[in-house]
Structure 1
Amino acid sequence: MKKGFLLLIIATLFWAGNYIAGRYLSDALPPTLLNTVRWAISSLLLWGLLVINKKPFPIFSRWKEFLILGFFGIFIFSTTTYMGLREISSSQAGMIVAGIPVSILIFSFILLKEKIKVKSWIGTVISIIGVVILIQGKENIESFGNALAGEVLIIISCIAWGLYTVLGRKYGKATDPLTLTAGAAVYGTILSLISCIGTVDMNAVQMDGMAWLALFYVSTFASVAAYLAWNAGVKILGPGTAAPFINLLPIWTVILGVIVLNEGINTITLVGGVIAIIGAILASLKK
């Protein structure tokens, strides 16, 4: 049991690091190019894991599912995340991603027709109120551009991840998680590459030693390693016990933002973020 808890904690910590590295890379690489390079590397690693585990890779026969998942979970989610991190701090973004469990809950109800308990709906409303309060923190000293645009982009990323997760459950009935993730990564990379055509100014690329290290991190630890740790933890503890651990993501993101990037958070943002996290925990707890 302890091993399962540790694996889930490590996974959320690695995912939180993506926001820190993404914030650092925001001035080094255009968002679409960053996403393309990141997932191109991750796709190769995931394909390698399939080869090692002697799993078939139905990259063409299941293209429709892979394309849909790649669009929402790899292209839209990651691109809007990196675009948002050009405008606001990783700590502020981390508070907003507390809405991910709520997004999953809503799309589970709409697309999978799952029965949602009253307690979960109450948690959803509380979390949404928290995000609204959070967005009122316009005087956030850690905004680097258009704060409202950055906040909206991160909200869109939460919606995209909710769709990706719920559709992944649906398509996962016929495909194992590793194959599904690898397929989504390949098609998401292709979509991201297409979005770079005619839109990326190569003069905007400003890579230094730390930027290369951050790029390595988001392509390995924040992608493949986090995925492996999460699924291993879910296998040990079960999905019901594991689900609430996703609420550690915003907490880790804020902590790392303060420690690594010396970010500050104003009172309104902090209050809104805490309310959003509490609501998300209430919405996702099964017991």
Structure 2
Amino acid sequence: MKKGILLLIAATLLWAGNYICGRFLAPALPATLLNTVRWAISTVLLWGLLVLNKKNLPIFSKWKEFLILGFLGVFAFSTLNYLGLKSISASQAGMISAGIPIIILLFTPIFLKEKIKTKGWIGAIISIIGVIILVQGKQSNSTAHSVIGEIEILLSCLAWALYTVLGKKYGRQMDPLTMTAGAAFYGTLFSFISCIGTVQPSMIHMTKSAWLAIMYVSTFASVVAYFAWNAGVKIVGAGRAAPFINLLPVWTVILGVLLLQEQISGVTLLGGIVAILGAILASL
């Protein structure tokens, strides 16, 4: 049991690192190109794992499922995240992500026909209030640009929630590794197409540190975190694992303050705490 809990904690910590690297890489690469490079590397690694496990990838027979999941979970979620991180801090983006479990809760009855208990809805309302407080608690020097960044992060949460719910639905037809590899392939194609005509060589400012950050988001924040999370869920069970996703905004704030010297206002911190508590209540 302890091993499973440690794996879940490690996964959320690795995912939080994606926000930090996304913020760090904001001046180095356009969001669409960053996402293309990240997931192209991840796709190769995932396909390699499929080969090692002697599994086939039904890239054509399951193209509709992969196309939808790739657009939502790989292209839309990651690209919107990187766009938002150009104008708001990793800490604030991480706390806004506390709303993801709540959006999943809202979509579950629609797509999976599952009933949500009263406690879940109470937690959802509390978390939504927290996110509203968080967004309103911007620094005094906030601009229209930062408001757009907040909207982009909120939209990324919406995309990930849809990906999660539909992934559960499509997961009845295929295993998680196959589904993730297929989604990564089609998501990378969407990202590549979005770069055409929008990315210029003058927009690329890579350094050794930037390359290291890209390698991190392509491996540890993608493949390694995915396997750590799934291994942890297998040990402790899905029900007990669900609340651990709420550690993501906590780690993001801690890493943002320690590594990027970010500062957050008291109101923003209060909103983040309320959003996380609501999400925990809904998850229990």
| TM-score normalised over the length of structure 2 | 0.98
| Alpha-carbon offset, residue 26 of structure 1 | 0.5
2:57 aligns to what SS in structure 1? coil
Q: Which residue in the other structure is 1:232 paired with?
A: 231
**Contact 1:88-1:145 within 8 A present in 2 as well:** no
1:113 aligns to what SS in structure 2? coil
Please state if 1:119 is matched with 2:113: no
| Alpha-carbon offset, residue 145 of structure 1 | 7.2
Q: Deviations over 1:28-79 (max 9, x none)?
A: 0000000000000000000000001111111111111000000000000000
Distance of 2:111 and 2:72 partners within structure 1: 15
Superposition misfits of 4+ residues, deviation over 4 angstroms: none
Q: Which residue in the other structure is 2:63 paired with?
A: 63
Q: Which runs of 5+ in 1 are unaligned?
A: none
Equivalence map 1:32-111=2 (5 Å): 32-111=32-111
**Corresponding letter in the other structure for 1:94:** G
Please state if 1:180 is matched with 2:158: no
| Alpha-carbon offset, residue 109 of structure 1 | 1.6
Q: What is the aligned residue count?
A: 284
Q: Deviations over 1:213-243 (max 9, x none)?
A: 1000000000000000000001111111111
Q: Which runs of 5+ in 2 are unaligned?
A: none
Please state if 1:28 is matched with 2:35: no
| TM-score normalised over the length of structure 1 | 0.97
Distance of 1:279 and 1:166 partners within structure 2: 19
C-alpha spacing 1:19/1:90, structure 2 compared with 1 (3 Å): same
Alpha carbon RMSD of aligned pairs, Å?
1.1
**Corresponding letter in the other structure for 1:196:** C
C-alpha spacing 1:60/1:226, structure 2 compared with 1 (3 Å): same
Distance of 1:117 and 1:39 partners within structure 2: 37
**Corresponding letter in the other structure for 1:246:** I
Equivalence map 1:100-179=2 (5 Å): 100-139=100-139, 146-179=145-178
1:87 aligns to what SS in structure 2? coil
Please state if 1:255 is matched with 2:272: no
**Corresponding letter in the other structure for 1:213:** L
**Corresponding letter in the other structure for 1:241:** R
Indicate the percent of aligned positions where both proteins have the same amino acid: 69
**Contact 1:86-1:145 within 8 A present in 2 as well:** no
1:220 aligns to what SS in structure 2? helix
Q: Which residue in the other structure is 1:200 paired with?
A: 199
